[in-house]
Amino acid sequence: MAFKLPDLPYAYDALEPNIDARTMEIHHTKHHAGYTNNLNKAIEGTEMENMSIEDILANVSKYPIAVRNNGGGFYNHGLFWDNMSPDGGGEPSDRMNIKKAIDRDFGSFDAFKAEFSKAAATRFGSGWAWLCVDKADKLFICSTPNQDNPLMDVVPEEGTPVLALDVWEHAYYLNYQNRRGDYIDNFFNVINWKVVTERYNDANPGASDL
Ligand code: MN3
């Protein structure tokens, strides 16, 4: 079964001025589509045709590098689109479990924001910044190079990602050029905390007890 490029949950211009329409369109129709097509080529005729993307990534050390690069690219961008919204931004509400977990594990929203922004800003070259849940149901921040992600059995810190930020230059260069820090700041204006808290609840069966 082939993987399918997901539609964006909003229009290409919906995140302006934080992320411009041309960047969004190229990113989705060229980059994400390319990863999807190349993933399908890489899994054709193999056992992976019958596996979920999560299971493929959790065992990615067994497979060719094209699966790691393109499977990561396919999965990561789907997460990234869904954790942004034109109605997003600000802080998660006090009623959301993700807010309670951020306060518990980072001390405050501002402390979380500073650590996440630093992970995104200091990723050398191309990659991603992540907010994840570990096996003990604790939140942690990490970054990965290229299209790696925390589900893969090749990264130093495995976990379930609940928030993704793409810091490849293709994600911001048309509008921000070398100003990655401004792009990171403005990402916080479009984070869809409703989706992030749903992912946190799904990853953490004890979340309702917070
Ligand atoms: Mn990208």
In the reported structure, the alpha carbon of residue 135 is separated from the centroid of ligand 1 by a whole-number distance in angstroms of 27
Rounded CA separation 202/122 (Å): 29
Candidates 104, 208, 116; CA nearest to 163 is 116
Mean pLDDT of 182-188: 98
Cβ burial, residue 156 (10 Å; 0-12/13-18/19+): exposed
C-alpha 36 – ligand 1 centre gap (Å): 12
CA distances from 35 to 7, 100, 111, 187 (A): 14, 35, 34, 23
Residues 6+ apart with CB under 8 A from 48: 42, 56, 63, 67
Nearest to 112 by CA among 139, 81, 82: 139
Nearest to 165 by CA among 19, 50, 58: 19
Segment 123-133 shows an average pLDDT of: 97
- Give residue 128's pLDDT band: very low, low, confident or very high (50, 70, 90): very high
Q: Which of 45, 44, 48 is nearest to 58 (CA)?
A: 48
Q: Tell me how far apart the alpha carbons of residues 74 and 79 are, in angstroms, rounded to a whole number.
A: 9
For residue 170, how far is its CA from the centre of ligand 1 (angstroms)?
Answer: 6
Span from the CA of 128 to the centroid of ligand 1 (angstroms) = 9
Which H or E run contains 79?
A: helix 65-82
pLDDT above 70 for 35: yes
CA of 205 to the centre of ligand 1 (A): 30
Q: What is the pTM of this model?
A: 0.96
pLDDT at 204: 76
- How large is the average pLDDT for residues 45-69? 98
pLDDT digits (tens, 9 = 90+) for 81-94: 999 999 999 999 99
**Residues near 174 by beta carbon (within 8 Å), at least 6 away in sequence:** 20, 22, 23, 26
pLDDT above 90 covers what percent of the chain?
95
Average pLDDT, the chain: 96
Rounded mean pLDDT, 31-60: 98
Indicate the pLDDT class of residue 67, thresholds 50, 70 and 90: very high
Note the pLDDT of residue 208.
56
